[in-house]
Homo-oligomer: A and B are copies of this chain.
């Protein structure tokens, strides 16, 4: 290359992006295949939309400005129209449904798995490109559609190897909270006050009932002395909301009765209760009890976006976080009803409900639980003593592959020492050597690299594992495949 060093580009990843390889990709592929198998068995159809959408179709223009939101990656096409990379799989679904409404079988039930991009500030563990796995039912207001998604999510988590008790799917309904507010005399179109109430509820875990009560009333002074202005509700109004989100009921039935009392004067609240009951009835009849899917008024995720049922799947087991603290793993999937997305295009409300799995988070969770089972098959590397012999080496790997083994010939130019180093670096289980003396006797040598590595460690605890096994064995060339299978079985 004639370019001098200063002119050469740097080999670096863009900020917030990463390369992935080997075991991580194999594990993710296994995860995606399992989810897909369950979703297909439920009759959901695959749909793939492009990476790009018109920015206006994504609803991502900045208010009153002719430029896209900075949260999405956008560029101008050569005909001066703005394009953006999808930031989720729901907005493209809405565009697809609106464009094909007449021809789609309805309810339209589709799953989609794909990369989404967020033009956000990257940080440790925060990437600007990641994978989502969604399932949505569009065109049905029937609570059976929600119940189906919840059961499918539970089946998926168990198909991935999670035990009952390792996860809990929480169910709430946005209309219930609206009903409580309305019945308490708080106008739903008083968005500012409603926002303060929502944010207060969201702090229940951190501030407890008293803290939330203060925020619902006049306001609250925190430890530092800072004062947060409250929603200004009366004691009675605040009490209603607390009775909803932090119930003192002894069981789910009593809690539902309390809620019925709270929302009875609100049509919205009553509708929410009817929907909830219909979902719970199906779940109960199919054996999906509160040990798997439970009603929880504390789930307030994305309330501005959702219009009815909301769901969240949480993993309940503890993991160690970056600071070395034990924490509950938390949310890996969520969703709910959204009735307005298609209406953006058509003007007609189309009822829809969906769930979305955050693939990287779920993968990390399964890994923490030792459930990333999709390990790669053991690798066999055939070394090449003399390049003139490489055809013989290729014949060997051909036989091995025909027997279902993962095998490769060393195709570099290195000497034998380099070839063994290569096999080690590749994490190979076995290296094969066929030198001229061996060939003359019709033999090949199998080097057990896992055992060799253990012997090299020279620690006492190895004794049991090593036993009287040999790290190297010469076998008949004709028996190569069966001898490899024997060795792999011994070490597994």
Contacts and interface: CB of A to CB of B under 8 A. Distances in A.
Interface of A: 1, 3, 5, 8-15, 17-22, 25-26, 29, 40-43, 45-54, 56-57, 59, 70, 73-75, 77-79, 81, 83, 85, 94-96, 98-99, 105-107, 109-110, 115, 117, 119, 129, 137, 139-142, 144-145, 147-148, 151, 278, 281-282, 284-286, 340, 343-347, 349, 376-377, 379, 381, 384, 387, 390-392, 394-395, 397-398, 401, 404-413, 422, 425-426
B105 A425 contact: yes
A42 B401 contact: yes
Given A9-B59, A21-B48, A42-B406, 6 more contacts: A1-B349, A25-B48, A41-B406, A52-B129, A105-B422, A285-B394
B1 A343 contact: yes
Contacts of A278: 387
The 7 lowest CB-CB distance pairs between A and B, nearest first, are: A285-B391, A43-B408, A11-B98, A17-B50, A105-B425, A9-B56, A145-B411
Given A48-B25, A394-B282, A57 B422 contact: no
Contacts of A17: 50-52
B50 A286 contact: no
B26 A46 contact: yes
Given A50-B129, A390-B282, A391-B282, A41 B401 contact: yes
Contact of A140 (B105, B117, B394, B412): B412
Given A21-B45, A142-B387, A413-B141, A408 B109 contact: yes
Given A41-B401, A45-B22, A406-B40, A106 B422 contact: yes
Given A286-B391, A412-B140, A347 B8 contact: yes
Contacts of A8: 344-347
Contacts of A46: 21-22, 25-26, 29
A43 B406 contact: yes
A56 B7 CA distance: 10
A83 B346 contact: no
Contacts of A57: 9-12
A208 B381 CA distance: 47
A148 B411 contact: yes
A87 to B, nearest CB: 13
Nearest to A407: B43
A117 B51 contact: yes
A48 B19 contact: yes
Contacts of A51: 17, 51, 85, 115, 117, 129
